[in-house]
Amino acid sequence: MKRKSELQRYALIIAGIIHLRVIFDMIVEPQHLNLMTALFSVVIYLTILSPGLILNILSYRTNSRVLTLLASMAYFNSSLYLSLVMMWLIIPGILCFYSFISMRKKKLTDNPFLNP
């Protein structure tokens, strides 16, 4: 079984590639948009659909179960928007959810402030 940090890293890589592809499509080939409206649409896209990526980065750095579950739910929510490309965010969502399941809960004795 893979360690939880590896699963989160794989989810980050897949989600990053998907996000970069969508941003590339928004900036390079905006058929009827000028540059300002294309940049505005990228900002809106990053605001609405990137919380999964941001939460995944935070959960990878802090190794937190709650952030991993929130990242999984955000990926599942983001996969319902926009296009068929965003449907691929189900894969990082599944990886984050599996990582959440495989993480063990921290015990009270693991807290250095409670156990001197």
Q: What per-residue confidence (pLDDT) applies to 103?
A: 82
Q: What per-residue confidence (pLDDT) applies to 69?
A: 92
Q: Could you read off the pLDDT of 16-61 as tens digits, one per residue?
A: 898 888 888 777 776 777 778 878 878 887 887 788 888 998 988 8
Higher pLDDT among residues 113 and 68, named by residue: 68
Q: Could you read off the pLDDT of 64-97 as tens digits, one per residue?
A: 889 999 999 998 888 887 667 778 888 898 999 9
Average pLDDT of the segment spanning 97-102: 89
Q: Which helix (H) or strand (E) holds 88?
A: none
In this prediction, residue 111 has a pLDDT band, given cuts at 50, 70 and 90, of low
Please tell me whether the overall predicted TM-score, pTM, comes out greater than 0.85 for this model: no
Q: What integer best gives the mean pLDDT of the chain?
A: 80
Q: What per-residue confidence (pLDDT) applies to 1?
A: 40
Angstrom distances, CA of residue 36 to CA of 20, 74, 77: 19, 28, 27
User: How far apart, in whole angstroms, are the C-alpha atoms of residue 112 and residue 90?
Assistant: 37
* Neighbouring residues of 83: CB distance < 8 A, sequence distance ≥ 6: 22
Question: What one-character DSSP code corresponds to residue 82?
Answer: S
Among 85, 76, 68, 65, residue whose Cα is nearest residue 20: 85
Cα dihedral angle (92, 59, 19, 93), rounded to 10 degrees? 20
